[in-house]
Amino acid sequence: MNQAIHERVYWTIHDLELLPENEGTRYEIIDGELFVTRAPHTKHQQTCGKIFRQLDAWSEASGLGEAIPSPGVLFSESDNVIPDVV
């Protein structure tokens, strides 16, 4: 009986430096798995902008927190994501 051997590639933040920089392509790593997606469409970006403006206005008014659009977030060597708004 033949058994298939599935070796999982475990990506880290250092591997991202080896990938080509293509405008409109996003690379994210979640639990060591690489996700390649295209840049969000216009409606998505407009919605994110509205959410950011509301959070930023609240932050300014309350003196609490800080709103940041599309930051790169490194949780660990194997988790590198780009949330829309933090």
Question: Distance between CA 37 and CA 55 in Å, rounded?
Answer: 26
pLDDT digits (tens, 9 = 90+) for 15-57: 988 998 888 888 999 999 999 988 889 999 999 999 999 999 9
Burial environment of residue 29 by CB neighbours within 10 A (0 to 12, 13 to 18, 19 or more): buried
| Model pLDDT, residue 33 | 94
Q: Which two tokens stand for residue 27?
A: 């690379």
- How many beta carbons lie within 10 A of that of residue 40, not counting itself? 16
pTM metric for this prediction? 0.67
Question: Distance between CA 64 and CA 53 in Å, rounded?
Answer: 15
Q: Where are the domains of the chain?
A: 13-81
